[in-house]
Amino acid sequence: MLILRDPTDAGSISDPAIRSLVELRFAQIGQDEPYDADQHGYMIVVEPGDTVQELEQETSCCILHDLFEDIPFGNPDFTPSFEILEEHHGTDGTVFYEMLFITNDDGFGITLFVPKAEGIDAGLLAMLAEFATPALAEP
């Protein structure tokens, strides 16, 4: 997993569509004041081989289980805990997801960018595909 805590970190992202959107998000968050990861939050690009458990441990966010009742994805009573989940399409035909968690009342956010790619956890991709809405604008 690539953990991005500074706008200059975006240069380490190999996928051009994800990199472009991450750069845009950093610019949007920092438009009124300098970007500060401790205040604004950070971003993660999920990579093949990353487990949901590792992502949950890093973020302290419930990804594949309900926040309050620990109901797992797949159960009809499952309620995801993200604020926003969008499906994006790169100009080269790639698909990736942007999932935002707001973790406190001050607006601290953690955004995960998850490519729809081989090696990405199948359960995570299934949940994303089920709950994502199409992005209004592509990067």
Across the range 49-76, mean pLDDT stands at 95
Predicted model pTM: 0.94
Residue 37 amino acid letter: A
Average pLDDT, rounded, for the chain: 94
Q: Indicate if the pLDDT at residue 138 is higher than 70.
A: no
Give domain limits for the chain.
2-134
Q: d(Cα 45, Cα 105) in Å, to the nearest integer?
A: 24
The percentage of residues in the chain with a pLDDT greater than 90, rounded to a whole number, is 83
- DSSP, collapsed to helix, strand or coil, labels residue 139 as coil
- DSSP, collapsed to helix, strand or coil, labels residue 126 as helix
DSSP string, 43-59: EEE--TT--HHHHHHHH
- Provide the strand spans (E) within the chain: 2-4, 41-45, 84-89, 95-102, 109-115, 133-134
pLDDT digits (tens, 9 = 90+) for 2-50: 999 999 999 999 999 999 999 999 999 888 888 889 999 999 999 999 9
